[in-house]
Structure 1
Amino acid sequence: MVKKKPGSSIKGWLSASGYLSISDVLKVDDYFQLVFVDGSVLSVYNPFLCEGVNFADLKGCTLCEIREDEAANVIILGLDQGSIRVNVHPDAWTGPEAMALYEQGHSIVIWN
């Protein structure tokens, strides 16, 4: 298991897969997971805010982009029906990483 920081691998993952539909949303203890139709799983550990979409309605949405807004201290998961803003301010951390992407056959991508 190799950890690496996000970058071009995320763009490659999204562009190779096209836009990814969310097939399931799992609430696990104090974090949640987005499960995609290709089997990839994005775990979100830091506090987050849904904008333009309710958490209960994330299943069926499509992930279009992942970008960082350094000025606002957030990672934005751009969806076809709104967005999820993950707080990455130093005071917001609840563990060693903000998010982790697990994709079969590839290294784990860690946002830390």
Structure 2
Amino acid sequence: MVGSSVKKGKAKTPRLTHLESSITRHKARIMKLELILRLLDNDELSPEQVNDVKEFIDDYVERKQEDFDEFEDVDMLYNTLSLDMVDALEDIVSIVPPSLVKM
């Protein structure tokens, strides 16, 4: 467990804080990508609609931790999808039971 390496009363190191933030961002992106995959499977999105998202993710993965702040806003990644699709993604996220979301 990440937090177990920090003793009680000691502040987290900047590196640990950075890594925890990175993990949180990765999980948020994974969740959104899984939702996009479901929408693709249900023919609610076409492959052409997610090409920009794919390119953004390819760039994100290629750069890894470089330019970390450039990729800070997870939601900006999905601006290329129609507003209805973004709303559908948020609705699906809100109805998924927390027990099914691995964090």
TM-score by length of 1: 0.29
User: Which structure has the highest strand share of the two?
Assistant: 1
From the CA coordinates, give the structure whose radius of gyration is larger: 2
TM-score by length of 2: 0.31
